[in-house]
Amino acid sequence: MARTKNSIQNIIFALCLQGVTVVANFAIRTIMIRRLGMQATSLNGLFTEVLAALSMAEMGVGSAIIYNLYKPLAENDHKKVRQLMGLFKSAYRIIAAVTFLIGLALCPWIHYMVKSINYSLNYIRLVYMLFVVDLSMSYLFSYKVSLMNADQKSYIQSKISMILKPVEAIIKIVVLLVTNNFVAYLVFSILVTFLGNLVRSYVVDRYYPWLGKNEDMLPKEERKEVFSNIKNLFIKALSGKITSSTDNMLISVLVDTLQVGYYSNYSLPIGVFRQLANQIAYGGVGASLGNLLVTESEDKCIKVFYRLEYLFFVIASLACVCVYCCITPFILIWMKSEDFLLAKNIAFICSLNLFIEVVNRPLWSIMEVSGLFKYDKYVSIAGSVVNLVVSIVLGMKIGMLGIFIGTFMTYLIQSLLKTLLLFRMRLNRSPLKQYVLLALMCGATLLQMIAADAVCSRIEFQNQIVAFVVYGLISVCVVGVSTMLCTFFTDSFRYYWGMVVSTAKSILKR
């Protein structure tokens, strides 16, 4: 019961934080485009993704922290927690230094990724190094946040972020409005990021007052096991980064850097749904899944997994259909010009990528806490190889569309292989039912996209705000009605419907 309560609490505050983050990001992006123009915005999108790939130095450590903390936290073993956190503190300091050095080493060649941008070489390098400094400094305190995530208390950090995010956004917007200077904006971004992490670290110290007490080092054998997990997770996460953090780089190199800016305008609303899924999967229920796997039977685990997958299918199909039908009027409302629109086939494949990424979040999340790191890394390697080969080959032939097709193929292959690994080695079940379920979910969503688009394309509005609202309502109705009719008699539908009814009764009684 406590696990369910923590998950619900984490999800509620994660959703609230997501709302605050969305408003803040849209406000910053809008001011950046209008004050600095598309060249600076495109450079910002490119270097954001470059740094996401550069953060490979941290990859594996964060997941290893959370995985190794589940058991001692469940057993209230404060000594073991302190030993582990001491180890991770040292690791993150090394990571900060390594990240900065790698970023510095890449600086002389970074301009080869930039096309059709009129900034000087020294300016491009300066902007890039400011991104590197920002990333490196973020590692100095971020390991502490993992403790709350592992302890199913991520809602506390969400509360703090709900206060800090608007403050950070206001400072950045004021800097943009006053200076009209990209470098000044990045310098203040570094400052507010550092101060924000300092506050989050302070909150963790106050919440776990026993954390700072000195303890002996973690025993050698246990350190060896932790580092083994880190090594396997590093390889796995590196491959994952190749999938999730190379689209903008490939667009810049194979197509044009300015196209990164146009795609970034699409990826911002798409990212809202992606981050929503991440908040629920990792911040909301990730720690609860870890606790579940170490305390409950396989039957219980698989039942919870299927219920989670149903929830994410509903989220994924809603997100996919809404993005496909509403993205054009949204861009027209936001940017007030058709010059910022991409081809409809780009919107289609981006919507499909969003669907397959979100619908697999329960699978991704449970794999993170399953302990199958040694085997999962090979799945990630296979996916990243497919992504690079298909994206580069098709990207050279058909441009952005080919790059996104490569991303779709990667998610599909990883989904099939991770399912096989999880069901065979952790849940001791045949994966056939899951394969059939995944095929049905993909087919249903394709039909929903076609049906919703067929209706929306027959209705035209001069006012784009009206179009956005009406197309959104049509998308929600198509997905909601079809999903309810097809899943009405399933255990997952009855479970969530029972939760809705129970919550409604409680509210009415009050």
More confident residue, 240 or 139: 139
- 320 and 426 together in one domain: yes
Q: Are 359 and 276 members of one domain?
A: no
Better-predicted residue by pLDDT, 296 or 302: 302
219 and 315 belong to one structural domain: no
- Cβ atoms within 10 A of the Cβ of 502, count? 10
Q: Which is higher by pLDDT, 153 or 203?
A: 203
**One domain for residues 283 and 306:** no
Q: What is the pLDDT of residue 46?
A: 84
CB 247 within 8 A of CB 410: no
Does residue 281 carry a pLDDT above 70?
Answer: no
CA–CA separation, 409 and 357 (whole Å)? 11
Show the domain range for 442: 296-510
Q: What span, in angstroms and rounded, lies between the C-alpha atoms of 435 and 7?
A: 27
**Domain final position from 237, 268, 288:** 288
**Coil, strand, or helix at residue 217?**
coil
Tokens 């998610």 belong to which residue?
411
**Res. 371 pLDDT band, cuts 50 70 90:** low
Check whether residue 284 and residue 316 sit in a common domain.
no
pLDDT given for residue 60 in this prediction: 56
In a domain, 152, yes or no: yes
pLDDT at 56 over 80: no
CB 110 within 8 A of CB 50: yes
Classify residue 375: in a domain, yes or no.
yes
Q: How confident is the model at residue 1 (pLDDT cuts 50, 70, 90)?
A: very low
3-state secondary structure string across 74-104: HCCCHHHHHHHHHHHHHHHHHHHHHHHHHHH
Banded pLDDT at 62 (limits 50, 70, 90): low
Please check the confidence at residue 479 and state whether its pLDDT lies above 70: yes
**DSSP string of 421-461, one letter each residue:** HHHHHTS-S-SHHHHHHHHHHHHHHHHHHHHHHHHHHT---
110 and 197 co-located in one domain: yes
One domain, residues 98 and 202:
yes
pLDDT interval class at 305 (50, 70, 90): confident
> Picking from 3-12, 46-55, 172-181, which range would have the lowest pLDDT averaged per residue?
3-12
Q: In sequence order, which ranges of 213-296 are alpha helices (DSSP H)?
A: 220-244, 247-254, 257-278, 286-295
Q: Is residue 144 part of a domain?
A: yes
| Helix pair 286-295, 361-368: axis angle to 10 deg | 60
Per-residue pLDDT at 90 exceeds 50: yes
Q: pLDDT tens digits, residue range 404-449? A: 999 898 888 888 988 888 888 877 888 898 899 999 999 999 999 9
234: confidence class by pLDDT, cuts 50, 70, 90: low
Q: Report the SS3 class of residue 490.
A: coil
Distance in angstroms (rounded) separating the CA atoms of residues 146 and 64: 10
Which residues are CB-contacts of 417 (< 8 A; sequence separation ≥ 6)?
Answer: 379, 382, 383
Q: Is pLDDT at 34 greater than 90 in this prediction?
A: no
Domain count across the chain: 2
In whole angstroms, give the CA distance from residue 56 to residue 401: 26
Residues 284 and 313 in one domain: no
Give the pLDDT of residue 155: 74
**Poorest-confidence range of 203-217, 222-236, 378-392, 491-505?**
222-236
Rounded percentage of the chain residues whose pLDDT exceeds 70: 85
In this predicted structure, what is the pLDDT of residue 20? Answer: 81
Query: Does residue 250 belong to any structural domain of this protein?
Result: no
**Average pLDDT score over residue span 23-41:** 87
**139/234 same-domain check:** yes
Q: Which of 259-263, 361-365, 372-376, 392-396 is the least confident region?
A: 372-376
Return contacts of 415-424, CB within 8 angstroms, 24+ apart.
415/356, 415/360, 415/363, 417/379, 417/382, 417/383, 418/360, 418/363, 418/364, 418/367, 418/376, 418/379, 419/363, 421/367, 421/372, 421/375, 421/376, 421/379, 422/363, 422/366, 422/367, 422/370, 422/372
Residue 251 lies in a domain: no
415 and 453 inside one domain: yes
Residue 65 is predicted with a pLDDT of 65
The answer as to whether 252 is a domain residue is no
Residue 55 tokens read as 């953060």
176 inside domain: yes
Give yes or no: residues 226 and 348 share one domain.
no
Q: Based on the domain organization, do 316 and 230 belong to the same domain?
A: no
pTM of the entire predicted model: 0.74
User: Per-residue pLDDT averaged across 357-366, rounded?
Assistant: 85
Q: What is the DSSP letter of 115?
A: -
Question: In this structure, are residues 248 and 67 in contact, taking their beta carbons and an 8 Å threshold?
Answer: no
Whether 328 is covered by a domain: the verdict is yes
Both tokens of 386, joined, read 């497919």
Q: 152-168: per-residue pLDDT in tens?
A: 677 777 788 888 888 88
